[in-house]
Amino acid sequence: QSTNLAYHDSVGWKAANLAEVSAILEKQWVPPWFVVTDRAFEEIMEMNDPGIKNAKDAKWNIRQSIGRILDRADYSDAQKSNRIFNLLENITLPSEMVQNILQSYHDLFAVRDDLSRTDDNFVAVRSSCREEDAETAARAGEFMTFLYIRGERELIHHIQLTWGGLWTERAIHNRRVLGIPATEATGGGVIVQKIVNARVSGVLQTVNMGKGAMEEIVINAGLGLGEGIVSGTVAADQIIVQKERDLDPNSLRLNYIVADKTEQIVFDKKYGSGTTKSETLYHQRMRPALEYTEVVELVQIALKLEHIYGYPLDIEFALDESRLWILQVRPVPFFSGLVEEVIEKYPISVNKMQVKR
């Protein structure tokens, strides 16, 4: 299918932006992925609630049951969230939907690429909610991401958990404060993407929001997976790069501040899935996370994306043992008006997006 940013209702903003980047940079810069669309989510919402025992409410669907939970004045937001999680975790998905998802999962690993490793077949399962990574990007990080998921049963289970994560305690609170309908406005896609076994991860913003400097790029880069850098639970180097009209890769103007990176988030080898926090080897702690050539490559890609999008961007990236990968792109929150204007006037087309029901 063909799509563009206007199709975020079907796949969510995160998937729509990922498809944009795949088209702009060519697929080899983005780890292989597919998206379970909003159509699947809506089908689940219309299923009968299997937990209803009262004959009068026998045809009560999942959406109505969630609405009933959210209307309970005697429940805290945490209790509401837990009950919705339990509801969505324990439903049985339609067999055709499961088959489509599993076929796409196996297709990810059918072709050898730079992320192919023997017998691991690990993926990340990420929410791509319509409310997430939107024009304002104000709600980035509110919903669910699961790393190092492997196997058919675990994949389906974590997709259901991701749907349940649309009603985290934080999400319920924010919708109430913002006046967003509790169930009607919720939806989008779920991204399933090959894992990057990152030695370095980070976030780049094409403007320096802390100083209000449009001519500066800010990179925060740390060791291991990006989960710790994005959440701020592990230390990260900070690199300030001066934007240049004619960027000279041989003489980049930058200020590199090295952090004492005592910990990093890594694959949990003990349990064979998920992540854990690990101590960094002593000789790695004060060594710059990024080499100069890696900074140059990252900046060049970021400026290309910003130029084509037409507004400042927040870019998540990772480097494994061999190369750079772009994981997510979203607008910088402060520029919502500019984003809306650019999307309306200059929609960016995206080709051959992988979409599953």
**Domain boundaries, given as residue ranges, for the chain:** 3-194, 200-319
pLDDT digits (tens, 9 = 90+) for 306-340: 999 999 999 999 999 989 999 999 998 765 555 45
CB 259 within 8 Å of CB 287: no
pLDDT at 11 over 80: yes
Q: Is 332 exposed, middle or buried (0-12, 13-18, 19+ CB in 10 A)?
A: buried
Angle between helices 77-89 and 169-178 in degrees, nearest 10: 120
pLDDT of residue 3: 45
CB 288 within 8 Å of CB 256: yes
- 200-319 architecture in CATH? 2-Layer Sandwich (3.30)
Residue 222 to residue 190: CA distance in whole angstroms:
27
Which token pair is 257? 């501040």
pLDDT at 105 over 80: yes
Nearest to 90 by CA among 29, 164, 144: 164
pLDDT of residue 355: 40
Q: Is the dihedral of CA 141, 144, 149, 151 positive or negative?
A: negative
Mean pLDDT for the stretch of residues 227-246: 92
Torsion from C-alpha of 158, 164, 170, 175, nearest 10 degrees: 140
| DSSP 8-state assignment for residue 165 | G
**Location of structure tokens 């399962």:** 125
Residue 86 to residue 36: CA distance in whole angstroms:
21
Residue 39 pLDDT level (bands cut at 50, 70, 90): very high
pLDDT digits (tens, 9 = 90+) for 145-191: 999 999 999 999 999 999 999 999 988 988 888 787 766 657 879 99
- 3-194 architecture in CATH? 2-Layer Sandwich (3.30)
- Which is higher by pLDDT, 271 or 246? 271
